[in-house]
């Protein structure tokens, strides 16, 4: 699928990828290595999707995905490469009350470092939303919110599935009934994330993280112990049930509720400032059995694939594996 230039000078990309999260960036790397001309479009300012970092004064936070594990052999090799490049390191393999498990790795200095590394040499258009997609003459056309239009021979969508379904509907893209049923089955839980700056160290035991099976808090981590922040700062993730119940409530009030619930883990430290972020599609709770979905298979559509952690599993590793699988399916898909 060599790229081409039209008579008006506009480039037709080999593959347009919607979403610069782990799935999109991982797919882009494989497609780029295959010699294809790839454009990634993302509505966010940063890279990595739910790999998210934020600064509040002198405090730094990982407020999205907190770590990664590595089970797949190719992914283990990638993690080793990231460690060698200085953008990842092992964080811990257990915390109090839990047996040793797979090593947990973190991004250095924050989780977004891995996404930035994956975006090296990639063509990424940020702070740009794809408003609609259509297909004609074996090409995909994406209308962007900046008024421009992008054409591509193949399309990969990596946004959360409910948003993907809406985008496909914008262009009246007909989805095979069996695949539509699989997409409709996928579900997500929300997460309310609190980033709180403290005036002293926390009482969270080494390694600086605790997960909870019940109650309003799902996770709390000490960004200072983790090595993310230079000053005391905690990330508090609301549980799935709490976040769903309070997602439309006043964010600051909800954040204070979580801070109050976290008091035993803050020790004598007091919160001096905090911010709240809501992840509407934080983590898939029901995932598809396949690593990606080639929607164009057995249709007249140009190559069209879906990827993300809703396909290969709700983990950092799952999103990467899904991106790799989607790239493989698009490389193999007939383009004409």
Say which CATH number the domain at 147 has.
3.50.50.60
Task: Clarify whether residues 233 and 313 are in a common domain.
Answer: no
Task: Clarify whether residues 198 and 313 are in a common domain.
Answer: no
Task: Clarify whether residues 198 and 281 are in a common domain.
Answer: yes
Task: Clarify whether residues 181 and 169 are in a common domain.
Answer: yes
Rounded Cα distance between 294 and 304, Å, is: 6
State the residue range of the domain holding 227: 53-116+187-285
- What pTM did the predictor assign? 0.93
Rounded Cα distance between 115 and 103, Å, is: 20
Would residue 145 count as lying in a domain?
yes
Provide the token pair at 83. 């460690």
Task: Clarify whether residues 318 and 199 are in a common domain.
Answer: no
Rounded Cα distance between 284 and 286, Å, is: 6
Would residue 99 count as lying in a domain?
yes
Would residue 146 count as lying in a domain?
yes
| pLDDT given for residue 336 in this prediction | 47
Q: Backbone dihedral region of 187: left (phi > 0), alpha (psi from -120 to 50 degrees) or beta?
A: beta
Task: Clarify whether residues 92 and 25 are in a common domain.
Answer: no
Task: Clarify whether residues 171 and 202 are in a common domain.
Answer: no
Secondary structure letter of residue 66 according to DSSP: -
Task: Clarify whether residues 63 and 112 are in a common domain.
Answer: yes
CATH of residue 261's domain is 3.90.660.10
Rounded Cα distance between 158 and 161, Å, is: 8
| DSSP per-residue codes, 157-175 | E-S-HHHHHHHHHHTTPPP
Task: Clarify whether residues 92 and 206 are in a common domain.
Answer: yes
305 touches 283 (CB < 8 A)? no
Q: Backbone dihedral region of 176: left (phi > 0), alpha (psi from -120 to 50 degrees) or beta?
A: beta
| pLDDT given for residue 314 in this prediction | 81
Number of separate domains in the chain: 2
| pLDDT given for residue 2 in this prediction | 45
Would residue 121 count as lying in a domain?
no
267 touches 201 (CB < 8 A)? yes
| pLDDT given for residue 100 in this prediction | 65
Task: Clarify whether residues 36 and 141 are in a common domain.
Answer: yes
SS3 93: coil
| pLDDT given for residue 9 in this prediction | 53
pLDDT digit of tens for each residue in the chain (336 aa)?
444 454 355 789 999 999 999 999 999 999 999 999 999 999 998 898 888 889 999 999 999 999 999 999 999 999 999 999 999 999 998 765 666 678 999 999 999 999 999 999 999 999 999 999 999 889 999 999 999 999 999 999 999 999 999 999 988 998 899 999 999 999 999 999 999 999 999 999 999 999 999 999 999 999 999 999 999 999 999 999 999 999 999 999 999 999 999 999 999 999 999 999 999 999 999 999 999 999 999 899 999 999 999 997 888 999 999 999 999 999 998 764
Q: Is the dihedral of CA 194, 196, 201, 202 positive or negative?
A: negative
| pLDDT given for residue 1 in this prediction | 43
Task: Clarify whether residues 147 and 279 are in a common domain.
Answer: no
Task: Clarify whether residues 105 and 205 are in a common domain.
Answer: yes
């Amino acid at each position: 699928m060599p790229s081409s230039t039209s008579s008006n000078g506009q480039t037709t990309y080999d593959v347009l990828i919607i979403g610069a999260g782990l799935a999109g960036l991982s797919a882009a790397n494989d497609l780029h290595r295959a010699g294809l001309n790839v454009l990634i479009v993302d509505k966010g300012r940063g890279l990595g999707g739910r790999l998210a970092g934020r600064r509040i004064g002198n405090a730094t936070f990982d407020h999205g995905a907190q770590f990664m594990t590595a089970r797949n052999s190719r992914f283990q090799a990638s993690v080793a490469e990231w460690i060698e490049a200085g953008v990842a390191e092992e964080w811990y393999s257990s915390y109090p009350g839990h047996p040793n498990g797979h090593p947990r790795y973190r991004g250095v200095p924050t989780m977004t470092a891995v996404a930035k590394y994956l975006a090296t040499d990639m063509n990424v258009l940020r702070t740009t939303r794809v408003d609609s997609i259509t297909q004609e003459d074996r090409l995909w056309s994406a209308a962007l919110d900046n008024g421009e239009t992008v054409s591509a021979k193949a399309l990969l969508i990596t946004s959360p599935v409910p948003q993907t379904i809406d985008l496909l509907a914008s262009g009246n893209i007909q989805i095979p009934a069996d695949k539509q049923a699989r997409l409709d089955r996928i579900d997500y839980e929300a997460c309310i994330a609190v980033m709180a700056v403290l005036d002293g160290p926390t009482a969270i035991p080494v390694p600086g993280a605790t997960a909870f099976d019940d109650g309003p808090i799902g996770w709390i981590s000490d960004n200072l112990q983790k090595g993310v922040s230079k000053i005391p700062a905690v990330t508090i993730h609301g549980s799935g049930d709490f976040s769903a119940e309070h997602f439309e409530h006043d964010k600051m009030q909800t954040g204070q509720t979580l801070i109050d619930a976290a008091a035993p883990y803050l020790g004598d430290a007091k919160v001096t400032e905090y911010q709240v972020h809501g992840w509407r599609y934080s983590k898939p709770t029901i995932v598809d059995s396949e690593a990606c979905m080639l929607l164009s298979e057995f249709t007249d559509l140009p190559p069209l694939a879906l990827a993300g952690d809703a396909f290969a599993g709700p983990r950092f590793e799952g999103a990467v594996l899904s991106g790799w699988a989607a790239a493989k399916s698009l490389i193999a898909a007939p383009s004409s």
